[in-house]
Structure 1
Amino acid sequence: MSYTQTIQTAVDVLHRGGVVAYPTEAVWGVGCDPFNSQAVERLLQLKQRDPAKGLILVAAAIEQLEPFLTGLSKQHCQTLNQYWPGPYTFLVPANKQVPDLIKGQHSSVALRVSAHPLVAELCRAFGGPIVSSSANIAGQPAPTEAKQVQSQLGDGLDYLLPGQVGDASRPSEIRDLLSGKVLRQG
């Protein structure tokens, strides 16, 4: 299967409400359509993740995240443009566009524009952001190889997008956009 075909297969699975694993900058991720609540619930069950924790949305470009950025100051938007694309996840105040399962118990939503070419191409082909969470069962190590994803999530996945993780040594840094506080070092 060609590169274009593998991306299209992943997009088709996402549009059908499936759960897809894909390589990111540092670890393998798992995602779905953030606006399909059944798909998000399946992903949370597969990972055995507490829904209260919320999930990250990843996109190919800041434009794909604009519906979630309403009300931000020019300075905050400049900060996002300075760090994206890249291994930085920002918590921004959640607006009504953010599904409850994505924000969890939080009043913010976690957003990232990926610098990984495969993630960016997947989001471009999908036409918007997708859920991005490490492709592991909660509490287990985040996988850096496809075989580790298969051993942890296996049959629960609808598709594993072939590829390699990037050369980042740690998952993305998580930072609160309004306060600048770093919640997870990158």
Structure 2
Amino acid sequence: MITTSVAEAADCLKKGQVLAYPTEAVWGLGCDPFNEKAFREILRLKQRPIEKGVILLAANVAQVEHLLTGLSPEIKEEVIASWSRRSPAERATTWLLPAGGHIPSWIKGSHSKVAVRVTTHSLCAALCHAFNGFIVSTSANPAGLEPARSLQEASQYFANELNYLNGDLGLSQEPSKIIDAETGEIIRA
């Protein structure tokens, strides 16, 4: 299915289906992060090992507030500022945060932390709102190939094996940078 309806796309996620959708810089694959069957379908489509983990995408800080509680007030402020003060053309930031016991092991992979990004991309934010929570966000491409940058490229990779939310990419030229919130280590520059 290809749709421009955020409600239809969110419904796909709620039904345990995989969805391709445009993000800030590339197309992503998403699912309900608490649905292991849907998550394993993403791994199959991407030919990606579970150990790598994936990013969780949220519409606002409230959707991930529980993941920020273990941070110092200064670091928490820095994380929130990076999400809320970003211009649309600026590269997004994904933070590695303490996962706690409520994030499924398959999301974290072999890591003790979880990668989280609050988006300023209006379509992604609308999708997370309609889904009523954060969603999986991993680039729409089989392992070793370039991430899709259009509906056409995503559908060339995955044909009718999943659903598509058609829309425009954001203005960023690069996928998000990834930083460990506790150590400050840059994982992806």
The normalised TM-score by structure 1 is: 0.94
Aligned to 2:188: 184
TM-aligned CA deviation for residue 92 of structure 1? 1.0
Structure 2 letter corresponding to 1:47: K
The amino acid across from 1:140 in the alignment is: L
Q: Deviations over 1:48-107 (max 9, x none)?
A: 111000010000001101232232221121011110145100001221011001000001
Which aligned runs of 4 or more in structure 1 are off by greater than 2 angstroms? 67-70
Q: Give the 5 Å matches for 1:95-106.
A: 95-106=100-111
Match of 2:134 in 1: 129
- Equivalent in the alignment of 2:89: none
Q: For the residues of structure 2 that align with 1:105 and 1:140, how far apart are their CA atoms? A: 23
Q: Is the 8 A contact 1:23 1:29 kept in 2?
A: yes
Contact kept? 1:27, 1:171, Cα under 8 Å: yes
Distance 1:161 1:36 in 2: 19
Matched pairs, number? 181
Offset, 1:182: 1.2
* 1:155 alignment partner, SS class: coil
Please give the alpha-carbon distance, in whole angstroms, between the structure 1 residues aligned to 2:151 and 2:38: 21
Task: Tell me how far 1:161 sits from its aligned partner.
Answer: 0.4
Once the two structures are TM-superposed, the CA of residue 45 in structure 1 deviates from its matched residue by 0.8
Aligned twin of 1:168 = 172
Partner of 1:44: 43
* Structure 2, unaligned runs of 5 or more: 87-91
Q: Which residue of 1 aligns with 2:153?
A: 148
| CA distance, structure 1, for counterparts of residue 55 and residue 180 of structure 2 | 13
Q: Is the contact between residue 68 and residue 98 of structure 1 (CA under 8 Å) also seen in structure 2? A: no
**Alpha-carbon offset, residue 40 of structure 1:** 0.6
Residues 174 and 183, structure 1, Cα contact 8 Å, conserved in 2: yes
Aligned letter for 1:129?
F
CA RMSD of aligned residues (A): 1.3
Q: Which amino acid aligns with 2:120?
A: A
Taking the TM superposition and a 5 Å limit, the aligned residue runs for 1:103-114 are 103-114=108-119
Partners of 2:71 and 2:182 within 8 A in 1: no
Match in the other structure for 1:64: 63
Distance 1:18 1:84 in 2: 28
Q: Give, in angstroms, the shift of residue 153 of structure 1.
A: 1.4
Structure 1: runs of 5 or more not aligned:
none
**TM-score, normalising length: structure 2:** 0.92
Counterparts of 2:177 and 2:27, CA distance in 1 = 16
Query: 1:97 & 1:69 partners in 2: Cα distance?
Result: 13
Native 8 Å contact 2:21 2:166 kept in 1: yes
